[in-house]
Protein backbone atom coordinates (compact mmCIF):
# COMPACT_ATOMS: atom_id res chain seq x y z
CA UNK A 1 0.00 0.00 0.00
CA UNK A 2 1.02 3.61 -0.34
CA UNK A 3 0.04 7.06 0.84
CA UNK A 4 1.26 10.17 -0.95
CA UNK A 5 0.92 13.82 -0.05
CA UNK A 6 1.60 16.45 -2.69
CA UNK A 7 2.95 19.79 -1.49
CA UNK A 8 4.19 22.97 -3.09
CA UNK A 9 7.50 24.66 -2.25
CA UNK A 10 5.87 26.55 0.66
CA UNK A 11 4.59 23.35 2.29
CA UNK A 12 0.96 23.88 1.25
CA UNK A 13 -0.84 20.54 0.86
CA UNK A 14 -2.33 20.07 -2.60
CA UNK A 15 -3.55 16.48 -2.27
CA UNK A 16 -3.44 13.30 -0.22
CA UNK A 17 -4.05 9.95 -1.92
CA UNK A 18 -3.64 6.34 -0.86
CA UNK A 19 -3.89 3.05 -2.66
CA UNK A 20 -2.54 -0.37 -3.43
CA UNK A 21 -1.96 -2.40 -6.60
CA UNK A 22 -5.58 -2.05 -7.77
CA UNK A 23 -7.39 0.85 -6.12
CA UNK A 24 -6.90 4.51 -5.30
CA UNK A 25 -8.60 6.65 -2.68
CA UNK A 26 -8.45 10.44 -2.77
CA UNK A 27 -8.34 11.55 0.87
CA UNK A 28 -7.91 15.25 0.14
CA UNK A 29 -7.65 17.42 -2.97
CA UNK A 30 -7.45 21.20 -3.00
CA UNK A 31 -8.95 23.18 -5.87
CA UNK A 32 -8.26 23.01 -8.80
CA UNK A 33 -7.05 19.39 -8.37
CA UNK A 34 -10.40 18.42 -6.84
CA UNK A 35 -11.95 19.03 -10.26
CA UNK A 36 -9.26 16.95 -12.04
CA UNK A 37 -9.78 13.33 -10.91
CA UNK A 38 -7.87 11.94 -13.91
CA UNK A 39 -4.74 13.79 -12.81
CA UNK A 40 -5.00 12.37 -9.27
CA UNK A 41 -5.59 8.87 -10.67
CA UNK A 42 -2.54 9.36 -12.91
CA UNK A 43 -0.40 10.37 -9.94
CA UNK A 44 -1.50 7.24 -8.07
CA UNK A 45 -0.71 5.09 -11.10
CA UNK A 46 2.71 6.73 -11.36
CA UNK A 47 3.41 5.90 -7.71
CA UNK A 48 2.57 2.28 -8.53
CA UNK A 49 5.07 2.42 -11.41
CA UNK A 50 7.72 3.74 -9.05
CA UNK A 51 7.33 1.15 -6.31
CA UNK A 52 5.70 -1.93 -7.85
CA UNK A 53 6.73 -4.04 -10.86
CA UNK A 54 10.43 -3.21 -10.56
CA UNK A 55 11.76 -6.45 -12.05
CA UNK A 56 11.42 -7.17 -15.77
CA UNK A 57 9.46 -10.20 -16.90
CA UNK A 58 11.66 -13.23 -17.72
CA UNK A 59 10.36 -13.05 -21.32
CA UNK A 60 11.65 -9.48 -21.79
CA UNK A 61 14.10 -8.80 -24.62
CA UNK A 62 17.61 -8.13 -23.32
CA UNK A 63 20.21 -5.76 -24.79
CA UNK A 64 23.64 -5.46 -23.17
CA UNK A 65 25.16 -1.99 -23.51
CA UNK A 66 28.53 -0.57 -22.46
CA UNK A 67 27.41 0.52 -18.95
CA UNK A 68 23.96 -0.97 -18.58
CA UNK A 69 21.59 -3.77 -19.46
CA UNK A 70 18.25 -2.83 -21.05
CA UNK A 71 15.19 -5.08 -20.73
CA UNK A 72 12.18 -4.40 -22.97
CA UNK A 73 8.70 -5.80 -22.38
CA UNK A 74 6.18 -5.49 -25.18
CA UNK A 75 2.64 -4.72 -24.07
CA UNK A 76 -0.45 -4.03 -26.21
CA UNK A 77 0.35 -0.78 -28.05
CA UNK A 78 3.22 0.02 -25.70
CA UNK A 79 6.55 -1.08 -24.30
CA UNK A 80 8.15 -0.87 -20.88
CA UNK A 81 11.91 -0.54 -20.63
CA UNK A 82 14.01 -1.32 -17.56
CA UNK A 83 17.62 -0.05 -17.50
CA UNK A 84 19.87 -1.76 -14.96
CA UNK A 85 23.41 -0.68 -14.16
CA UNK A 86 25.82 0.80 -11.69
CA UNK A 87 28.20 -1.10 -9.43
CA UNK A 88 25.34 -3.08 -7.85
CA UNK A 89 23.35 -3.67 -11.03
CA UNK A 90 20.29 -1.82 -9.69
CA UNK A 91 17.37 -0.35 -11.59
CA UNK A 92 18.45 3.06 -12.91
CA UNK A 93 15.49 3.89 -15.13
CA UNK A 94 12.06 2.57 -16.05
CA UNK A 95 9.95 4.04 -18.85
CA UNK A 96 6.68 3.48 -20.68
CA UNK A 97 6.37 4.36 -24.36
CA UNK A 98 3.02 4.20 -26.18
CA UNK A 99 3.77 3.51 -29.84
CA UNK A 100 6.54 6.11 -30.28
CA UNK A 101 5.44 8.67 -27.66
CA UNK A 102 6.81 8.70 -24.12
CA UNK A 103 4.15 8.38 -21.41
CA UNK A 104 6.31 8.41 -18.27
CA UNK A 105 9.89 7.89 -17.13
CA UNK A 106 11.24 7.13 -13.66
CA UNK A 107 14.90 7.65 -12.76
CA UNK A 108 16.13 5.93 -9.60
CA UNK A 109 19.10 7.63 -7.96
CA UNK A 110 19.22 6.42 -4.35
CA UNK A 111 18.72 3.05 -2.70
CA UNK A 112 18.79 1.90 0.90
CA UNK A 113 19.48 -1.62 2.24
CA UNK A 114 16.31 -3.61 2.88
CA UNK A 115 15.32 -7.05 4.16
CA UNK A 116 15.93 -8.68 0.77
CA UNK A 117 18.37 -6.50 -1.18
CA UNK A 118 17.79 -2.78 -1.66
CA UNK A 119 14.78 -0.44 -1.72
CA UNK A 120 14.42 2.65 -3.93
CA UNK A 121 14.54 5.78 -1.84
CA UNK A 122 15.23 8.62 -4.26
CA UNK A 123 13.33 8.83 -7.55
CA UNK A 124 12.18 11.33 -10.15
CA UNK A 125 9.20 10.60 -12.40
CA UNK A 126 8.31 12.71 -15.43
CA UNK A 127 4.77 12.28 -16.78
CA UNK A 128 4.58 13.40 -20.42
CA UNK A 129 0.81 12.92 -20.68
CA UNK A 130 -0.13 15.41 -17.93
CA UNK A 131 3.17 17.35 -17.90
CA UNK A 132 4.20 17.02 -14.27
CA UNK A 133 7.18 15.76 -12.29
CA UNK A 134 7.17 13.77 -9.06
CA UNK A 135 10.29 13.93 -6.91
CA UNK A 136 10.43 11.34 -4.12
CA UNK A 137 12.84 11.59 -1.22
CA UNK A 138 11.86 9.04 1.40
CA UNK A 139 12.83 10.42 4.77
CA UNK A 140 11.47 7.44 6.67
CA UNK A 141 11.05 3.87 5.60
CA UNK A 142 9.04 1.00 7.01
CA UNK A 143 8.99 -2.30 5.16
CA UNK A 144 6.52 -4.91 6.32
CA UNK A 145 6.90 -8.54 5.38
CA UNK A 146 4.85 -11.39 6.76
CA UNK A 147 3.73 -9.28 9.72
CA UNK A 148 7.31 -8.28 10.56
CA UNK A 149 8.01 -4.53 10.63
CA UNK A 150 11.59 -3.32 10.16
Residue-wise pLDDT tens digits, 78-128: 999 999 999 889 999 999 999 889 999 999 999 988 777 888 889 999 999
Q: For residue 67, is pLDDT > 90?
A: yes
Q: 0.85 exceeded by the pTM?
A: no
**% of the chain exceeding 90 in pLDDT:** 57
Distances (CA, A) of 21 to 46, 61, 142: 11, 25, 18
* CA distances in angstroms from 55 to 14, 24, 25, 34, listed in the order given: 31, 23, 26, 34
Computed from CA positions of residues 33, 39, 41, 47, in that sequence, does the dihedral angle turn out positive or negative? negative
Chain-centre distance of CA 75, in angstroms? Answer: 18
Of 12-16, 34-38, 79-83, 145-149, minimum mean pLDDT range: 145-149
pLDDT of 88 reads 87
Alpha carbon distance 120, 122 (integer Å): 6
Amino acid sequence: TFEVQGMNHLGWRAFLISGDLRKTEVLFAAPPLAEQPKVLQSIAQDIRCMYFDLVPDPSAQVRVEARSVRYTENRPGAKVEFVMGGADGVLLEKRLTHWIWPVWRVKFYEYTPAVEGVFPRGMVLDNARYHYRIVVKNRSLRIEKDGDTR
